[in-house]
Amino acid sequence: MNKSLIIGVVIITFFILGMSVFLLADDTKSSQNVVSENARAEIVEPTSFDWGTIPINGGNVTKSFALKNTGTESLRLFNVKTSCHCTVATLTIDNKTSEEFGMSGFSDWVGEVKPNNEAKLTVIFDPAFHGPQGIGPVTRYVSVETNDKASPKITFTLTGTVVK
């Protein structure tokens, strides 16, 4: 019976240690994205765009949006997601372009925009991704989270009509 008790205590101890490491590692990642009173994400242009008519076999279409940091602290951009696998997005800051972000997966990428500087969000839509059944009106979204208290999440909306 003592042997069973010792084994039980050892298992519980390892479980508690494992959970502690997991929780501390998770807190470290989220602390990179602490909300700031002095970072300001200013959208230089509207957050929506209409591509109009998009030929299904005409190749990818793109649209770029500018985000300016009008605050006095660095603006952090992270957790970029698209609403469909046919759409990807990248962020360019100081002439350095991020990885491609999509609908699924997790990225721990965080971009920092210094005060009075800009970032460029580039959205790429593949009209042929869904094949012939993808013809017709489309609406795709791209979201970007920030450390700006006033704008913690910015959503960009892109529309168009895919035709043969």
99-152 tens-digit pLDDT = 999 999 888 999 999 999 999 999 999 999 999 999 999 999 999 999 999 999
**pLDDT over 80 at 95, yes or no:** yes
Q: So what's the pLDDT on residue 1?
A: 61
Q: Which amino acid is at 84?
A: C
User: Do residues 117 and 86 share a domain?
Assistant: yes
Range of the domain at 136: 41-163
The answer to whether residue 36 is domain-embedded is no
User: Do residues 57 and 6 share a domain?
Assistant: no
- Give the number of domains in the chain: 2
Q: Contact 37/146 with Cβ under 8 angstroms?
A: no
User: Do residues 45 and 24 share a domain?
Assistant: no
